């Protein structure tokens, strides 16, 4: 029994390291925070973690297939700009139009109310998945390296975002914003369910932040089934040894397209939530770039190999949490903005080095590719 546990720990040393590092850092953060271990702090942390956690999951899937997606931040930004038009919740609907070379082109009215909001959410997530599908097709059928292909498509998606929102703006339904960025109790009160959140049986879980619940649901309902599917296993096989996967008759092309499509879906989830959280759309190019780089760092901290074939989106979620907790410390200890990148870099280097100790102990370099 103990031997089996030890073997599993060695096989998932990156994930274990990320979980332990997050647990230690978050415990220290709450001990140092004046209102630590409170629901208000947990809700605020959940709101700040969710978008990066989604992008970390988005980055993980192509990396597992031995690729790299530099467009995840751009897809997130583009979907957020779409959401700022489609999730207004106005009862009479939202008029849509385009301004092309000074010409005003009407596109009709997007439905309003609850039905319109649900439809808008579906459209936004489908847009993210479609962007990922395009990435996959460019990589597979264009035979272009993923890092180059997604760099190009990312520029296109940012261009679309800038076309939609040259300046920050838009509006998100206030009830939607309040329900998804607070605790389960506030969610129930907004939707008028469970006695407006006052039901006795609901009280023990009413303090849990909605973003954490959404994160768990997406991981369980999307990532876990995908990983156990034929395509999911093919993604791991392609990342481990594409030649062997091809000789085994695995659907390599479909696996790659599925990986990038799922990445687009996860990035869309992040962009949708970010728009809901900020109640607006913003084609922020530096923000898109920062999220992309942090998603790669989260993947590495979470124990996923950039060579492909090893790792998990769950580990990347904890990697994203580690990054965010580090930024939380900057606020608590009032660290000067100019020094923040220095401390963040040192901590990240230490975390990645701990996860790479197993590689340093390898005597035969061929074992790295088994």
Q: Report yes or no on 118 lying in a domain.
A: yes
Beta strands in the chain (DSSP E): 94-100, 103-110
Q: With respect to residue 360, please indicate whether it lies within any of the assigned structural domains.
A: no
Whole-angstrom distance, CA of residue 37 vs CA of residue 51: 22
Tell me, yes or no, whether 339 lies in a domain: yes
- Phi/psi for 88 (5° steps) reads -75, -30
| C-alpha 327 chain-centroid distance | 17
Domain annotation covers residue 364: no
In a domain, 288, yes or no: yes
198 found inside a domain: yes
C-alpha 8/C-alpha 314 separation (Å) is: 15
DSSP secondary structure string for all residues of 214-250: HHHHHIIIIIHHHHHSHHHHHHHHHHH-HHHHHHTT-
Strand partners for 96: 108
Count of domains for the chain? 1
Is 66 within the bounds of a domain?
yes
Tens of pLDDT along the chain (370 residues) come to 666 677 777 767 778 888 998 999 999 999 988 888 888 899 999 999 999 999 999 999 999 998 999 999 999 999 999 999 999 888 777 777 777 766 767 677 888 788 899 999 999 999 999 999 999 999 999 999 999 999 999 999 999 999 999 899 888 999 999 999 999 999 999 998 988 888 889 989 999 999 999 999 999 999 999 999 999 999 999 998 888 888 888 899 999 999 999 999 999 999 999 999 999 999 999 999 989 989 998 998 898 888 888 889 999 999 999 999 988 888 888 888 888 778 777 776 776 665 555 555 555 555 554 4
Residues 340 and 331: their CA atoms lie apart, in Å, by: 10
Task: Tell whether 134 is covered by a domain.
Answer: yes
Show the domain range for 267.
Answer: 13-348
Kindly report the CATH number assigned to the domain that includes residue 274. Answer: 1.10.3470
Pairing of strands 94-100, 103-110: antiparallel
The structure's pTM equals 0.92
Q: Which residues of 122-155 are buried (b: 16+ CB within 10 A; e: fewer)?
A: ebbbebbbebbbbbbbbbbeeeeebeebbbebbe
């Amino acid at each position: 029994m103990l031997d089996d546990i030890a073997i599993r720990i060695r096989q998932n040393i990156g994930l274990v390291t990320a979980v332990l590092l997050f647990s230690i850092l978050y415990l220290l953060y709450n001990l140092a925070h004046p209102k630590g271990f409170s629901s208000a702090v947990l809700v605020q942390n959940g709101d700040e973690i969710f978008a990066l956690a989604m992008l970390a999951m988005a980055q993980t899937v192509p990396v597992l297939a031995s690729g790299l997606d530099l467009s995840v931040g751009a897809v997130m930004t583009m979907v957020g700009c779409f959401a700022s038009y489609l999730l207004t919740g106005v009862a009479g609907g939202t008029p849509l139009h385009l301004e092309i070379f000074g010409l005003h082109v009407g596109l009709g009215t997007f439905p309003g109310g609850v039905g319109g909001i649900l439809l808008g959410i579906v459209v936004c997530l489908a847009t993210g998945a479609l962007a990922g599908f395009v990435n996959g097709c460019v990589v597979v059928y264009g035979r272009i390296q993923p890092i180059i292909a997604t760099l190009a498509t990312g520029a296109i998606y940012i261009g679309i975002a800038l076309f939609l929102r040259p300046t920050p703006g838009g509006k998100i339904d206030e009830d939607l914003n309040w329900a998804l960025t607070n605790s389960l109790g506030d969610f129930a009160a907004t939707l008028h369910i469970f006695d407006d959140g006052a039901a006795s049986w609901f009280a023990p879980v009413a303090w849990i932040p909605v973003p954490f619940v959404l994160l768990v649901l997406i991981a369980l309902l999307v990532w876990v089934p995908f990983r156990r599917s034929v395509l999911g296993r093919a993604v791991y096989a392609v990342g481990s040894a594409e030649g062997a996967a091809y000789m085994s008759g695995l659907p390599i092309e479909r696996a790659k397209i599925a990986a990038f499509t799922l990445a687009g879906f996860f990035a869309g989830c992040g962009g949708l939530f970010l728009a809901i959280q900020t109640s607006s759309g913003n084609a922020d190019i530096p923000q898109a770039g920062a999220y992309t780089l942090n998603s790669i760092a989260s993947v590495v901290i979470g124990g996923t190999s950039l060579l492909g074939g090893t790792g998990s989106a769950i580990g990347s979620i904890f990697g994203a949490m580690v990054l965010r907790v580090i930024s939380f410390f900057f606020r608590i200890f009032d660290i000067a903005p100019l020094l923040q990148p220095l401390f963040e870099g040192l901590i990240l280097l230490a975390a990645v080095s701990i996860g790479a100790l197993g590689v340093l102990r390898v005597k035969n370099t061929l074992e790295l590719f088994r």
